[in-house]
Amino acid sequence: MGSQWRTARRSQLLAIGAFVALSIVLYMSWLHQPAMPAEATHPIEELIQNAEFEFSQAVAKQATTLPAAAAEYRARRARHPPPGFDGWFEFARRNDALVVESFFDQIHHDLEPFWGLPAAEIRQSAKTVEPWLLGIRNGKAVMQTKEKHIWMEPWLDLLGSIADHLPANISLDIPVNVMDESRLLVPWERVNELMETAARERQMASLGEVVESFSATSANADTEAAPPPSPDWIHDYSRIWPLVRSTCHPASPARQDPEEPTDLRLPAPDFMPTQAPKGSHAGYVANWTTASDACQHPHLRGLHGTFIEPQSMKTSTRLLPLFGGSKLHSNNEILLPPAMYWSSDVRYSGGEGAHGAAWPFKLNALIWRGAGTGGRNKAATWRHFQRHRFVGMLNGSAVSAAEGTGANGRGETFRLPSADLYSVPGSAQGGHLGAWLAPFTDVAFTDLLCFPSTGGPACPYTEPYYALADPLPMAAQFGHKYLADIDGNSFSGRFRSFMRSSSVPLKASVYREWHDARLWAWVHFVPLDNSFVDVYAVLAYLRARDERARRIAEAGQRWAEKVLRKEDMQVYVYRLLLEFARVCDDEKNVLGFVADLKE
């Protein structure tokens, strides 16, 4: 009996020992096994985090006193501020404008080459370059032309709202570009030469050298001066892309890549990127400036009407003082807030107070309505135009048809992006992307705009591919969560109103505007690559993260009400006119505001 008990006891101990040993082995095995990978952070989340950090860093530099604003100016510009800077700062302060020096970078980008020209030449050119001429005389804005155009009155009104605040002896000629298309394409080598001249002459004059008020030469062109160089306007549409390329840095892709990839005889889908777009982060726009620059993306030659055949063309390769509402990255116009942003035209504003319902009450859909603008879309070229491509890519039926041709299938105007690059619901392998898109994308043309014109909204060569829809007032579009902003003959003119709405603007553009330095992509709006190769994945991200989309919509709207008001346009133009008056002055290199340094 005792031996049996001892045997049983020994068996129990052995079993317990085996169990403990096995438990230890299993525990150690579990403890040292590779960790299960956490869900990867979406690349857009990383872009948002980076953009929010950059935004907060910029806004932290807001100047709240005149000495601080002047110090920020000197640190960033390596010059004294212009005469009248104190009046400008007080005007900004009274109008509750944020004074962040980087917000005015566009002014200095536009005007810096003019520092390399003689002031008298600038003054003379301003009088003669264009018949549409505004001016500042004796504290008033004046119309100096009999030529009529819809945008002249709004620009005159904008100038008139600040003219009496300018230094009394400022008198300027302000020629404006009333065409949709931007006009000046000065070769990179010439601009670089002017910038080098400006850099050599740039100085922070000593207090004893500084001249603190504008001279008479800033007011009027010398009547006996030699006539300015002729603009030598170019009207040959076939030269548009070579002219654009000439403005690019010699080491840029547009200058280095062979010409063949820009051959318009290739089908439009062949121009779409097969890899992540240059400068993107995992395929998504990482730098808005780079993404909008055709010098960095020469394939846009075959994907944007501006580079194919503009609607109209009157271009010069000379640096001329010409003001306008938008321009290509490498154009040389001087930007003003566009006239339609200052006007109250409901086609562009939606009407005062019309910003859309609160987010939960909006249609969970993307909306776009517009005409088939973008240039002279012809039977041989329309497939390359940005609006035609966008409408095709967001049409569920067209996408389903492309899916039917296989992975990375092709439509008339596009090629489906690689599933290896972008993960979206119903990707090409499953063949359901079109069905996924259809319920929440509402994009359509209201006028197909043939060239030559047919006299109506229809067009025989595009009608088989696009169904026309009735125009939709902008205020009604604000009832959707997502608003697409796509270039027409130039910028669309809608973006300010989209930013002021309670919806998310999705923007693709090759055009610059006055406000670009004060808006942050991924914080205030959602950027799209101009090929639209990323559009499905961007929509998938937003629809899967409704609260994130809402945050962008609300952040953009709040920020627009701080920096895109009419008061902010006035502050921008006030500063612009001070800077332009200085480059028009024979004493420009010693002109400056230094009162803050004397206290």
pLDDT for the residue numbered 37: 36
C-alpha to C-alpha distances, 570 to 62, 166, 202, 573, nearest whole angstrom: 18, 12, 28, 5
Helix (H) or strand (E) segment spanning residue 393: helix 386-393
Could you list the beta-strand ranges (E) of 285-414.
323-324, 327-328, 334-335, 363-371
Q: Give dist(CA 451, CA 469) in Å, integer.
A: 20
| Confidence grade of residue 64 (pLDDT, cut at 50, 70, 90) | very high
Q: Give dist(CA 326, CA 379) in Å, integer.
A: 28
Condensed to tens digits (0 to 9), the pLDDT of residues 117-138 reads 999 999 999 999 999 999 999 9
Condensed to tens digits (0 to 9), the pLDDT of residues 437-484 reads 999 999 999 999 999 999 999 999 999 999 999 999 999 999 999 999
Say whether pLDDT at 528 is over 50: yes
DSSP state of 34: P
pLDDT for the residue numbered 73: 99
Nearest to 98, CA basis, from 506, 594, 565: 565
Q: Give dist(CA 565, CA 520) in Å, integer.
A: 17
Condensed to tens digits (0 to 9), the pLDDT of residues 559-594 reads 999 999 999 999 999 999 999 999 999 999 999 999
Q: Give dist(CA 599, CA 584) in Å, integer.
A: 29
Mean pLDDT of 308-316: 97
- What pairing do the DSSP bridges indicate for beta strands 140-143 and 334-335? unpaired
C-alpha to C-alpha distances, 505 to 44, 288, 495, 549, nearest whole angstrom: 16, 14, 8, 10
Mean pLDDT of 472-497: 96
Q: Are 295 and 252 in contact (CB under 8 A)?
A: yes
Q: Give dist(CA 318, CA 232) in Å, integer.
A: 8
Helix (H) or strand (E) segment spanning residue 486: strand 480-486
- Burial class of residue 178 in the structure, from the number of CB atoms within 10 Å of its CB (0-12 exposed, 13-18 middle, 19+ buried): middle
Say whether pLDDT at 407 is over 90: no
One DSSP character per residue, 229-245 reads: PP---B--GGGHHHHHH
End-to-end CA distance of the chain: 110
Give SS3 for 436: helix
Q: Are 335 and 324 in contact (CB under 8 A)?
A: yes
Cβ-Cβ contacts under 8 Å for 138 (sequence gap 6 or more): 168, 171
Q: Give 329's Cβ-side CA count (13 Å radius).
A: 17
| Confidence grade of residue 212 (pLDDT, cut at 50, 70, 90) | very high
| Confidence grade of residue 550 (pLDDT, cut at 50, 70, 90) | very high
Condensed to tens digits (0 to 9), the pLDDT of residues 191-207 reads 999 999 999 999 999 99
pLDDT for the residue numbered 22: 37
In the block, tokens 């580079």 appear at 307
- Burial class of residue 52 in the structure, from the number of CB atoms within 10 Å of its CB (0-12 exposed, 13-18 middle, 19+ buried): middle
| Confidence grade of residue 426 (pLDDT, cut at 50, 70, 90) | low
Say whether pLDDT at 40 is over 90: no
Say whether pLDDT at 36 is over 70: no
Nearest to 55, CA basis, from 569, 524, 550: 524
Percent of the chain clearing pLDDT 90 (strictly above): 82
Q: What is the mean pLDDT of the chain?
A: 91
Give SS3 for 388: helix
Q: Give dist(CA 441, CA 475) in Å, integer.
A: 18
Q: Give dist(CA 598, CA 594) in Å, integer.
A: 7
Condensed to tens digits (0 to 9), the pLDDT of residues 231-274 reads 999 999 999 999 999 999 999 999 997 655 568 889 999 999 99
One DSSP character per residue, 503-564 reads: SEEEEE-SEE-TTGGG--BTTTBEE--TT-TTHHHHHHHHHH-HHHHHHHHHHHHHHHHHHS
Provide the whole-model pTM.
Answer: 0.91
| Confidence grade of residue 229 (pLDDT, cut at 50, 70, 90) | confident
Tokens at 355, concatenated: 């910003």
Q: Are 233 and 134 in contact (CB under 8 A)?
A: no
Q: Give dist(CA 596, CA 545) in Å, integer.
A: 50
Domain boundaries, the chain: 66-226+568-598, 237-315, 351-564
Chain-centroid distance of CA 574 in Å reads 22
In the block, tokens 């004893």 appear at 208
Chain-centroid distance of CA 286 in Å reads 13
Say whether pLDDT at 18 is over 70: no
pLDDT for the residue numbered 33: 31
pLDDT for the residue numbered 220: 55
pLDDT for the residue numbered 173: 97
Q: Name the amino acid, one letter, at 123.
A: R
Say whether pLDDT at 330 is over 80: yes
Say whether pLDDT at 17 is over 90: no
Tokens at 278, concatenated: 């240059």
One DSSP character per residue, 94-144 reads: HTT----GGGGHHHHHHHGGGGGS-HHHHHHHHHHS-S-EEEEETTEEEE-
C-alpha to C-alpha distances, 456 to 173, 311, 487, nearest whole angstrom: 40, 17, 22
CATH of 351-564, one of 3.40.50.2000, 3.40.50.1580, 3.40.50.300, 3.90.1150.10: 3.40.50.2000
Which segment of 130-139, 210-219, 404-413 scores lowest on mean pLDDT?
210-219
| Confidence grade of residue 217 (pLDDT, cut at 50, 70, 90) | low
Say whether pLDDT at 146 is over 60: yes
| Confidence grade of residue 224 (pLDDT, cut at 50, 70, 90) | low
Q: Are 156 and 73 in contact (CB under 8 A)?
A: no
Condensed to tens digits (0 to 9), the pLDDT of residues 154-205 reads 999 999 999 999 999 999 999 999 999 999 999 999 999 999 999 999 999 9
